[in-house]
Amino acid sequence: MIPLSVPNVTGNEKKYLNECIDSTFVSSVGQFVTRLEELVAEISGTSYAVATSAGTTALHTALMSVGAAAGDMVIIPSYTFIATPNAVAHCGAVPWCVDIDRDSWTMSPEILETELREKATARDGHLYHRASGKRVAAIMPVYTLGNPADMDEIQRIAKKYELPVVADAAAAIGVGYKQRKAGSLADVTVYSFNGNKTVTCGGGGAIVGDNEAVMTMARHLSTTARVGSEYDFDMVGYNYRMTNLQAAVGCAQLERVEEFVDKKRAVRQYYENHLQGLDGISFFPKPVWAESTCWFSGIVIDKKSGMDIRTICAGLRDMGIESRSFWKPAHLQQPYRNVEKSSMEVTESIWDHILTLPCSTGITEEELAITVDAVKKVIQKA
Ligand SMILES: *Cc1c(COP(=O)(O)O)cnc(C)c1O
């Protein structure tokens, strides 16, 4: 079976893990946690980084650090992984879902602006959702598949409405935007190092940013909100720390981030070169403002072709190739079915037509050729 995406742990992972065990530094204090934070800040171009136990806990911490609290609303694109709305809900807030752009699959600045203009009112230095009276606490764009959202436009709107921007860049480590590094695009940016991401710690996450007060709060909240060296705590904190074991794997992975991202991009290019012209399919979007980190590669099945992704997926499985559908939008998920939302024209037209194909960073040229062959056969039969 050629797997969809498996971790590539052929570097210094084992060596660094052994160092943790030999030194007994296996928990949340240790040189690898510090080193990982330095590496992530450097890659992002930010002054601060805080490592966390997961991407979801990083998102929750980041939202709390910019002031999102119970009863608030946070604006997200509906087309995202469930962790995005979940992090909002973990704050006691509710998501306000907006549609995405067809050319990037990221939050549509146009729809964001229309939603705010039509449904929100500023009062006493805050912005409120008119129908519910809830305060709008933040805008959280998602860097879909490693494509940053159009952050200049989103920042322009955020400034106009005086809202902080928290970027869910879960799978976008190593990306840039108009020649700038990723960390400078939002007030706070969040990564995931889950097992299926390009860079993994097994599980883990990180928060990066330049605002000292926000980042100090992020560290404080994620490390139990302790003050001093005794058992004193000044807030309801969280044990969201990354362990030195996770960070040991992460450091070994980050040493190879450029190589991994280059390989992901090469995989996408391979599929484009070899599947180009096949009837009824197209590829994932390429926005003009950035070069995606190509977390996943795959194809979009043309609605008019009448082909169903599940049939194609089953056909590929029979030929020894793992493929998979992609995110089901937040507003179609049980816990979020009643949230405020814009029209969802683009989201609803694409989400069930996306098929991700094998794209591990360790995939060989031969495996790619076998996959391409199988895709052609299955599509021509479908
Ligand atoms: C993976 C992912 C997350 C969650 O990260 P975990 O580390 O699994 O908690 C959040 N948002 C997006 C867009 C993701 O792809």
265-305 confidence digits (pLDDT tens) = 999 999 999 999 999 999 999 999 999 999 999 999 998 88
The ligand 1 atom at the shortest distance from the C-alpha of residue 54 is 7
Helix (H) / strand (E) element for 37: namely helix 31-44
What is the CA(58)–ligand 1 centre distance, in A?
A: 9
Burial of 328 (0-12, 13-18, 19+ CB in 10 A): middle
120-153 confidence digits (pLDDT tens) = 999 999 999 999 999 999 999 999 999 999 999 9
Q: Is the per-residue pLDDT at 382 higher than 90?
A: no
Share of the chain above pLDDT 90, in %: 97
Share of the chain above pLDDT 70, in %: 100
How far apart, in whole angstroms, are the C-alpha atoms of residue 111 and residue 84?
Answer: 19
What is the CA(166)–ligand 1 centre distance, in A?
A: 14
CB distance 58 to ligand 1 below 6 Å: no
What is the CA(56)–ligand 1 centre distance, in A?
A: 6
How far apart, in whole angstroms, are the C-alpha atoms of residue 336 and residue 154?
Answer: 23
Handedness of CA 116, 188, 6, 43 (dihedral sign): positive
Quickly list DSSP for 81-117: -THHHHHHHHTT-EEEEE-B-TTTSSB-HHHHHHHHH
Q: Please report, for residues 56, 83, 92, 158, the alpha-carbon distance to residue 89 in angstroms, rounded to integers and kept in the order given.
A: 11, 10, 5, 21
β-pairing verdict for 94-98 and 340-341 = parallel
pLDDT of residue 241: 97
What is the CA(121)–ligand 1 centre distance, in A?
A: 31
Helix (H) / strand (E) element for 190: namely strand 188-192
Q: Is the per-residue pLDDT at 381 higher than 90?
A: no
148 forms bridges with which residues in the sheet?
Answer: none
CB distance 243 to ligand 1 below 6 Å: no
Instruction: Say whether pTM exceeds 0.85.
Output: yes
- Cβ atoms within 10 A of the Cβ of 174, count? 21
How far apart, in whole angstroms, are the C-alpha atoms of residue 260 and residue 266?
Answer: 10
192-249 confidence digits (pLDDT tens) = 999 999 999 999 999 999 999 999 999 999 999 999 999 999 999 999 999 999 999 9
Look up residue 109 and give its amino acid: P
Q: Is the per-residue pLDDT at 263 higher than 90?
A: yes
